[in-house]
Structure 1
Amino acid sequence: MTAEEHIYDTLKHLAGGRVFPDFAPEGEDLPLIVYQAVGGEPANFVSGDQPDKQHTRMQVSVWAATRLQASELGDQVERAVRAATALQTEVAAGRVAVYDEETKYRGTRQDFYLFC
């Protein structure tokens, strides 16, 4: 299972199931969650073998109509990711508040290291 599949399985019960890789479809209802792999630290073996697990840096953004809704959903995301033992999560950074001028959406963005 890929890191993207793992994070989707972990978050799919939040935001009314509106959880998307890379970007949300245009016109999607709020609140919603978007995730994407933004790097990581690959394991390299002298033998050249492919590792069984990936060490992926995953960025999770939430979008909502209000700052309070975005903050609450961001907290739910962090709790869910920390609790998912299959992900072996390390929180890379605290949540960052974001605002989209065009849509007027408020959000949070947070990075996690996943070893899965």
Structure 2
Amino acid sequence: VGAESEVVALDRSAARLEEVGKLADLLGCAGVVRTHKMDANKAVATFGEATFDRVLLDPPCSGLGLRPRLRPQTASLADLEGFASYQRKLLRTAAQLLRPGGTLVYSTCTINPMENEGVVGWAVEEL
């Protein structure tokens, strides 16, 4: 992050955004990090299309890659399909925010192909 850079972090969770602020302070880049408590699907209305050079999308996911560390839960097929559907919606929004020639990174903590390869394959075909 350079002196003229700006990092915009969006999340619906005030607690997560507070952690982002603490990390920015710790790393000495608090002056370039702006946090917004909001649903990322509303970001185009707030910031406009083709606004950002880079977008990192870390959407809500099933967390199957973290399962040994999480409390045991069972996720139904409908739950997994719901995550993938919401991830596609967020990815469409992220793509709209990206300037032409920009970089979009999609990252999850799941090992579920429906939420990873499935969503990325959809994006390649649809976006």
Which protein has the larger Cα radius of gyration, Structure 1 or Structure 2?
2
In the superposition, the TM-score normalised over structure 1's length comes to: 0.34
Higher helix proportion: 2
In the superposition, the TM-score normalised over structure 2's length comes to: 0.32
